[in-house]
């Protein structure tokens, strides 16, 4: 445990403490930090509705991305875990391979697919499902699709690693006792893989909320998310103190959510044991 | 045993890295940071052949990134930076840009006289212009019925152009379009005036296909967009693929953008850096920029050397330096940046 | 049903990749518009030592940081899961995931500058390990939640040492999660841009492939990059298939 704690302590806690401190000072006239003015102004500004609404909107989009990524990632992880053991690692690798290419060019590929004269629209029209091109790009749909696409493999990995050692005899026992497939899944498989589902959901949510390339390119820059906001404050506005305050706020909210979730999970587990 | 091996391997790797970091400092060479592809590929080689000085080229994606990096690291490790003029101005104010000794850069004589009259740095005291141009409208002349002449043709588009236009996503240029349309300075920081720009641009946002500052010319070629806000040089990339694409500077004017070279004050190789700056000011480099990047250059010797057919194919190349200087440059906004960036956030987060 | 679903998911994952490969044969340097067939970009790639060197740097960073992060992260997960839940420990392990890249990037660069640490490829590795430890730890912990600790206790009772217990009991039981974690770490590292950019040394020697590609944006991300990606994918693909052939029937822990 020690090497990990030292690594994080030196290379995360200490640097982040520096950033945290800057949140209490003023932006220098030409960027950087003016260390002569101590202030809470950056935090009050971060609490303005303009920024809060961006937080809420990002949380909604990241939440939707996490939901859809779980929806399509879970069955995929399940299918991989139920494949012949000797194929499993290869299948996992195959799911990750596309993501060893560059994010930017993958995103460009989606623009080619989704634009009004792109493959997706031609395909839909060929099927006779639509008569005119659908607006598939530069909107929330495209952003969520882009996020789901890029992060679904992480869900697959997280759930797979939780599922892989799941004893099939539990499910068999459940079925022997007369439970249907759905009940078995709902009462046995899903609860047993809950840690994997939680880890996968957290991955998609946190990676989505910090993402700034997808809203820029697939959203056509028309959606402002927290990731872009913080990126822009640090680099475009060169307002490190305000960018720091926004980040501190983001991290605090996420940690609170995490603890709330952990407490709820513990309580649920406690109750479950009580019934058994 | 396996575990212990893995653990010790990890420790050795970590220790080796720490050691390597201490030793890496020894070699002397010039480090410059530039956008990839913004100067001839063989320039470092030729420079070394002539002067014996080795040049290493680091690349940056945007002004903002190199700026962030240099501010956080005080410019450590870099000798010469390529940045746009407002950033050069900020680097100077932050004490990161070095004062230039013109005696060591004789090839400055290759520049147009106008290149020494730029408002962000009259007399080129800390920055040397490398390329310059305008920001205007780039459009498909075969699709857009009446040729655009005003920023309002983009900001309040005709019905058939709605959903077929894009604006630059970089904050300063995004705002500049609105400011020029309303007859304001492109460096406006008065909150009341910025609110007017905001109201206009929020309405415009509803008609846009996207904000885009990387692939807009590609969108024109594919027909996804018909009319876009563009830097003149980038519009030329579209023209190269489809001659029906045309560029116009709207009647309300443009900004004058200038990409510059700045020497880092903390550089330990200033003499070598001077030699590099002087070398890059040769006519050859300027000619290369025009012919390969399709930007205009303040290098008169370079502009004189180009194949004149370029000027016919890409008419915006022929804008005279004296005309360029009529346009206002983007300047660093100083403390006004706070208000400015808030207005931009209000626009980009509007629905 | 299971196979049909897997087919669907792989089609979803690979469709944009197919487009990317097709674009590597695009005539003009347009990132999103098709202008005609050409194989020129593969030739140009061979003449671009910078792109190839950057790809090599990316591989070095990804492999070393994955190795370190997987080792440290797995041990950390084991340590954390065996003891009582601790909120501050959880916060420490969660923060590297949630902290926006740009913040960690600037924080690390400010820190390295402050302690006068010379930057290079090694500092990118140090930085990538920071967030990868957290991701590895999260994946392994998800597996450990259903881990039966009585097995290790039994092993200790039978007189086995910590190392033997790990080698004979714990690792065989958690290895799929460790493999999954390593895959995740590698994938995150090889495509990471912002943190790499800020913690890289000045110069070509510590330019990674994503840094190179983003730097090309201004003057056109040309299909050379798609050609590079196509080659990387095909090589990885062949490696996976070959490994699959050699591994047949010798997969541990199943």
- Measured CA angle at C165 (ends C159, C166), to 5 deg: 160
Residues of chain B with CATH 3.40.190.10: 28-132+258-319, 134-256+330-348
Residue holding tokens 């920001």?
B135
pLDDT at B1: 39
Query: Would you give the DSSP letter of residue C117?
Result: P
- pLDDT value for A273: 43
- Helix, strand, or coil (residue C252): coil
Strands B80-84 and B245-248: unpaired
- Reply yes or no on domain A59-223 having CATH 3.30.710.10: no
Looking only at the bridges linking them, the beta strands covering B30-34 and B55-59 are parallel
- Number of other residues whose CB lies within 10 A of the CB of residue A108: 26
Q: Smallest CA–CA separation between A191 and chain B, in Å? A: 32
CB contact under 8 Å between C111 and A258, yes or no, is no
Contact C93, C36 (CB under 8 A): no
Which candidate in C202, C213, C252 is best for mutational testing of the B interface (most B CBs within 10 A)?
C202
Å from B306 to nearest chain A CA?
34
Residue whose tokens read 């049909």: C4
On the question of pLDDT at C193 being above 50, the answer is yes
Chain B positions with Cβ closer than 8 Å to A: 10-11, 62, 64-65, 67-68, 71, 90, 93-94, 166, 169-171, 205, 208-212, 214-215, 222-224, 332, 334-335, 337-338, 340-342, 344-346, 348-349
Q: Is B73 on the interface with C (CB under 8 A)?
A: yes
Coil/strand/helix, residue C104? helix
- For A228, the token pair is 């872009």
**Cα–Cα distance, B55 to A46 (Å, whole number):** 44
d(CA B134, CA A3): 55
Helix axes A140-163, C171-190, angle to 10 degrees: 160
Q: What is the pLDDT of residues A174-223, one digit of tens each?
A: 778 877 778 877 887 888 788 889 889 999 999 999 898 999 999 999 99
Q: Which residues in chain A touch residue C78, judged by CB atoms under 8 angstroms apart?
A: 1
A273: closest CA of chain C, how far (Å): 15
Residue B327 pLDDT more than 70? Answer: yes
Which of B63, B342, B347, B350 is the best substitution to test chain A (most A C-beta atoms within 10 A)? B342
Q: Kindly tell me if the per-residue pLDDT of A100 is higher than 50.
A: yes
Interface with chain A: mutation pick from B3, B15, B18, B68, highest number of A CBs within 10 Å: B68
- The H-assigned helical ranges of chain B are 2-23, 43-51, 63-73, 85-93, 151-155, 171-181, 191-205, 216-222, 232-241, 270-280, 283-288, 300-305, 309-313, 321-324, 337-348
Strand partners, B298: none
Distance from CA of B177 to the nearest CA of C (A): 20
CB C52 within 8 A of CB C109: no
Q: Do C218 and B221 touch (CB under 8 A)?
A: no
Helix axes A140-163, C2-23, angle to 10 degrees: 130
Q: What is the DSSP string of B95-113?
A: T-BPPP-GGG-GGGGGB-G
CA distance to partner chain B, nearest, from residue A53 (Å): 9
Alpha-carbon gap, residue A81 to A87, rounded angstroms: 9
Q: What is the mean pLDDT of residues C243-252?
A: 58
Give C127 or A1, the one with higher predicted confidence: C127
Note the pLDDT tens digit of each residue in C200-229: 998 888 999 999 988 887 777 778 888 988
pLDDT of B307-323, one tens digit each? 999 999 999 999 999 99
DSSP code at position C205:
G
| Whole-number Å distance between alpha carbons of B29 and B54 | 5
With CA atoms as reference, the chain A residue closest to B340 would be A237
Beta-carbon contacts of C48 under 8 Å, excluding residues fewer than 6 positions away, are C224
End-to-end CA distance of chain A: 35
Contact flag B215-A108 (C-beta cutoff 8 Å): yes
Q: Please count the residue pairs, one from chain B and one from chain C, whose beta carbons lie less than 8 angstroms apart.
A: 132
pLDDT at A265 over 80: no
Q: What is the percentage of chain A residues whose pLDDT exceeds 90?
A: 48
- Comparing CA positions, the residue from B177, B212, B216 lying closest to residue B198 is B177
The CB-side HSE value for B190 (13 A sphere, CA atoms) comes to 7
Backbone angles phi, psi at A35, to 5 degrees: -80, 5
Residue labelled with tokens 């690594």: A7
User: Helices in C83-120 by DSSP H: which ranges?
Assistant: 87-98, 101-114
Domain that includes residue C90, residue range: 51-215
Dist CA C27 CA C40 (whole Å): 8
Residue C9 belongs to a domain: no
pLDDT for A257 equals: 85
Q: Are C62 and C48 in contact (CB under 8 A)?
A: no
Q: Which of C109, C123, C202 sits opposite B33 (nearest CB)?
A: C202
pLDDT at B23: 45
Of C36, C85, C252, nearest in space to B242 by CA: C36
- Between B82 and A177, the more confident residue is B82
Which of A33, A114, A221, A231 is the best residue to mutate to test the B interface, defined by the most B CB atoms within 10 Å of its own CB?
A: A221
User: What is the token pair recorded at B346?
Assistant: 């209000």
* C82 part of a folded domain: yes
Residue pair B290/B305 in contact by the 8 Å Cβ criterion? no
Locate B196 and state its tokens. 């007017």
In whole angstroms, give the CA distance from residue B125 to residue B202: 40
| Cα B249–chain centre separation | 18
Report whether C67 contacts B10 (CB < 8 A).
yes
Residue A269: what pLDDT? 62
Average pLDDT for residues A8-14, to the nearest whole number?
Answer: 91
Q: Is the pLDDT of residue A155 over 60?
A: yes
| Fold annotation for B28-132+258-319 | D-Maltodextrin-Binding Protein; domain 2 (3.40.190)
pLDDT at B211 over 60: yes
Whether B22 shows a pLDDT value over 50: the answer reads: no
At a CB cut-off of 8 Å and minimum separation 6, what does C32 contact?
Answer: A108, A111, A112, A115, B215, B218, B219, B222
Beta strands in C40-87 (DSSP E): none
Residues 6+ apart with CB under 8 A from B148: B137, B139, B154, B227, B248, B250
Joined together, the tokens standing for residue B178 give 């609105």
Distance CA A150, CA A107 (A): 9
Q: In whole angstroms, give the CA distance from residue A234 to residue A123.
A: 42
Instruction: Collect all residues of chain C within an 8 Å Cβ-Cβ radius of residue A225.
Output: none
pLDDT of residue B314: 94
The pLDDT of residue B19: 47
Burial class of residue C89, CB neighbours in 10 A (0-12, 13-18, 19+): middle
Domain boundaries of chain A, sorted by first residue? 59-223
Q: Are B306 and A1 in contact (CB under 8 A)?
A: no
Instruction: Please tell me the distance in Å from C159's CA to the nearest CA on chain A.
Output: 23
Instruction: Report the candidate in C101, C110, C121, C104 with the shortest Cα–Cα distance to residue C209.
Output: C121
What pLDDT is stored for residue A167 in this prediction? 67
pLDDT, one tens digit per residue, over A19-75 is 899 999 999 998 888 899 899 999 999 999 999 999 999 999 999 999 999 999 999
Six-digit token pair at A137? 């790009």
The β-bridge relationship of strands B255-263 and B328-329 is: parallel
High-pLDDT (> 70) share of chain A, %: 94
Interchain CB distance below 8 Å, C90 and A259: yes
Report the CATH number that the domain containing residue C175 is assigned in CATH.
Answer: 1.10.3720.10
Give the pLDDT band (50/70/90) at residue A272. very low
Residue C139 within any structural domain of the chain: yes
Q: What is the pLDDT averaged over residues B192-203?
A: 97
Cβ distance B346 to A216 less than 8 Å, yes or no, reads no
Q: Rounded to whole angstroms, how far apart are CA atoms A217 and A146?
A: 10
Q: What is the rounded average pLDDT for all residues in chain A? A: 87
Global ipTM: 0.89
Higher-confidence residue: C177 or B344? B344
Q: Which residues of C touch B57 (CB under 8 A)?
A: 203-204
CA distance B66 to A235: 9
Looking at domain B134-256+330-348, what is its CATH homologous superfamily? Answer: Periplasmic binding protein-like II (3.40.190.10)
Mutation for A interface: C109, C139, C207, C222, most A CBs within 10 A:
C139
DSSP secondary structure, chain A, as one string:
-HHHHHHHIIIIIHHHHHHHHHTTEEEPBTBSEEEEEE-SHHHHHHTSHHHHHHHHHHHHHHHHHHHHHHHHHHHHHHHHHTS-HHHHHHHHHHHHGGGGS-HHHHHHHHHHHHSTTSHHHHHHHHTTS-SS----SSSHHHHHHHHHHHHHHHHHHHHHHHHTT--HHHHHHHHHTT--HHHHIIIIIHHHHHHHHHHHHHHHHHHHHT--HHHHHTSTT-S--HHHHHHIIIIIS--HHHHHHHHHHHHHHHHHHHHHHHHHHHHHHHHHHHH-
- pLDDT band at B76; cut points 50, 70, 90: confident
Residue C27: pLDDT band with limits 50, 70, 90 = confident
Is the per-residue pLDDT at B183 higher than 60? yes
Question: Which range is least confidently modeled, A173-177, B168-172, C158-162?
Answer: A173-177
Give residue-wise pLDDT tens across range B99-156: 999 999 999 999 999 999 999 999 999 999 999 999 999 999 999 999 999 999 999 9
Paired residues of B229 in beta bridges: B137
Q: Minimum mean pLDDT among A256-270, B159-173, B197-211, C160-174: which range? A: A256-270
Lowest mean pLDDT among A236-250, A256-270, B222-236: A256-270
Chain B positions touching A235 (Cβ under 8 A) are 62, 64-65, 67-68
- On whether the CB atoms of residues C74 and C136 are closer than 8 A, the answer is yes
pLDDT at A263 over 60: yes
Tokens of A121: 């629209």
- Give the residues across from B57 on adjacent strands: B32
Residue B250 CB-density burial (10 A; 0-12 exposed, 13-18 middle, 19+ buried): buried
Give the three-state DSSP class for B261: strand
Judged against a pLDDT cut of 50, whether residue B206 lies above it is answered with yes
Which residue blocks in B206-282 are alpha helix, DSSP H? 216-222, 232-241, 270-280
CA closest to A101 among chain C residues: C229
Tell me which chains share at least 3 CB pairs under 8 Å with chain C.
A, B
Range in C70-74, C171-175, C183-187 the model is least confident about: C171-175
Q: Measuring CA to CA, how many Å separate C202 from each of A204, B97, B270, C47? A: 33, 17, 16, 23
Which tokens is A156 given?
Answer: 């697959």
- For residue B68, what are the contacts with CB-CB under 8 A and spacing of at least 6? A234, A235, A238, C106, C198
Phi, psi of C33 (to 5 degrees): -115, 135
């Amino acid at each position: 445990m020690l090497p990990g704690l030292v690594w994080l302590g030196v290379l995360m806690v200490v640097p982040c403490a520096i950033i945290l401190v800057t949140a209490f000072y003023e932006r220098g006239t030409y960027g950087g930090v003016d260390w002569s003015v101590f202030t809470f102004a950056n935090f009050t500004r971060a609490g303005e509705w303009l920024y809060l609404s961006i937080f809420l909107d990002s949380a909604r989009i990241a939440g939707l991305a996490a939901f859809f990524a779980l929806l399509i990632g879970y069955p995929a992880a399940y299918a991989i875990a139920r494949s012949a053991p000797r194929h499993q690692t290869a299948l996992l690798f195959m799911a990750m391979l596309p993501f060893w290419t560059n994010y930017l060019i993958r995103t460009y590929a989606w623009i080619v697919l989704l634009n009004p004269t792109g493959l997706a629209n031609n395909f839909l029209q060929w099927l006779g499902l639509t008569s005119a091109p659908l607006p598939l790009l530069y909107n929330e749909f495209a952003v969520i699709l882009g996020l789901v696409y890029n992060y679904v493999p992480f869900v697959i990995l997280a759930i797979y690693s939780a599922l892989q050692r799941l004893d099939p005899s539990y499910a068999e026992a459940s079925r022997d006792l007369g439970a249907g497939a759905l009940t078995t899944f709902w009462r046995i498989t899903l609860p047993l893989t809950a840690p994997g589902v939680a880890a996968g959901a957290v991955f998609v949510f946190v990676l989505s909320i910090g993402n700034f390339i997808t809203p820029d390119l697939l959203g056509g820059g028309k959606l402002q998310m927290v990731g872009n906001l913080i990126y822009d404050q640090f680099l475009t506005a060169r307002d490190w103190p305000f960018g720091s305050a926004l980040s501190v706020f983001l991290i605090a909210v996420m940690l609170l959510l995490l603890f709330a979730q952990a407490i709820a999970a513990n309580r649920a587990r406690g109750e479950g044991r009580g019934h058994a | 045993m396996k575990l212990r091996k893995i653990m010790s391997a990890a420790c050795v790797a970590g220790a080796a890295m720490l050691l390597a970091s201490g030793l890496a400092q020894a070699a002397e060479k010039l480090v410059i940071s530039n956008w990839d592809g913004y100067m001839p590929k063989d320039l470092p080689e030729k420079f070394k052949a002539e002067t014996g000085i080795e040049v290493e080229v680091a690349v940056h994606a945007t002004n903002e990134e190199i700026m962030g990096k240099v501010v956080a690291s005080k410019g450590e490790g870099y000798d010469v930076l390529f940045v746009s003029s407002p950033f050069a101005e900020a680097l100077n104010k932050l004490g990161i840009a070095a004062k230039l000794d013109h005696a060591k850069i004789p090839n400055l004589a290759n520049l147009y006289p106008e290149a020494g009259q730029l408002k962000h740095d009259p007399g080129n005291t800390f920055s040397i212009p490398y390329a310059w141009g305008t920001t205007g409208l780039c459009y498909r002349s075969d699709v857009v019925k009446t040729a655009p002449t005003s920023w309002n043709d983009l900001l309040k588009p005709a019905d058939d152009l709605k959903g077929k236009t894009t604006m630059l996503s970089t904050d300063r240029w995004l705002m500049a379009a609105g400011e020029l349309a309303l007859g304001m300075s492109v460096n406006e920081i008065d909150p009341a005036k910025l609110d007017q720009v905001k109201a206009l641009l929020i309405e415009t946002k509803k008609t846009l296909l996207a904000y885009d500052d990387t692939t807009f010319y590609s969108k024109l070629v594919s027909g996804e967009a018909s009319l876009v806000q563009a830097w003149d040089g980038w519009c030329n990339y579209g023209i190269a693929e489809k001659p029906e694409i045309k560029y116009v500077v709207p009647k309300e004017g443009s900004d004058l953008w200038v990409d510059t070279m700045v020497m880092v004050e903390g550089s330990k190789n200033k003499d070598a850096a001077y030699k590099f700056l002087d070398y890059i000011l040769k006519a050859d480099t300027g000619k290369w920029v025009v012919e390969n990047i399709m930007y205009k250059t303040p290098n008169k010797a370079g502009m004189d050397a180009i194949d004149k057919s370029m000027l016919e194919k890409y008419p915006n190349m022929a804008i005279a330096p004296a005309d360029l200087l009529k346009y206002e440059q983007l300047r660093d906004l100083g403390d006004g940046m706070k208000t400015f960036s808030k207005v931009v956030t209000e626009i980009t987060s509007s629905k | 049903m299971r196979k049909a679903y897997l087919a669907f998911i792989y089609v979803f994952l690979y469709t944009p990749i197919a487009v990317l490969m097709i674009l590597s044969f695009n005539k003009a340097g347009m990132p999103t518009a098709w202008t005609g067939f050409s194989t020129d970009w593969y030739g140009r790639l061979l003449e671009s030592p910078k792109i190839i060197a950057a790809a090599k740097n990316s591989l070095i960073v990804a492999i070393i940081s994955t190795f370190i992060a997987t080792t440290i992260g797995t041990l950390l997960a084991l340590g954390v899961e065996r003891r009582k839940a601790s909120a501050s420990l959880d916060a420490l392990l969660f923060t590297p995931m949630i902290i926006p890249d740009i913040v960690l990037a600037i924080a690390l660069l400010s820190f390295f500058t402050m302690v006068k640490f010379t930057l290079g490829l090694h500092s990118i590795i140090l930085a990538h390990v920071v967030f990868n430890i957290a991701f590895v730890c999260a994946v392994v912990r998800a597996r450990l939640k259903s881990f039966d600790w009585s097995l290790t206790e039994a092993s200790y009772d039978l007189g086995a040492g910590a190392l033997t217990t790990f080698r004979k009991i714990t690792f065989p039981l958690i290895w799929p999660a460790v493999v999954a974690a390593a895959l995740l770490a590698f994938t995150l590292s090889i495509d990471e841009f912002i943190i790499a950019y800020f913690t890289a040394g000045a110069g070509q020697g510590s330019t990674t492939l994503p840094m190179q590609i983003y730097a090309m944006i201004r003057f056109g991300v040309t299909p050379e990059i798609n050609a590079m990606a196509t080659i990387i994918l095909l090589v990885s693909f062949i490696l996976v298939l070959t490994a699959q052939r050699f591994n047949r029937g010798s997969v541990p822990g199943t």
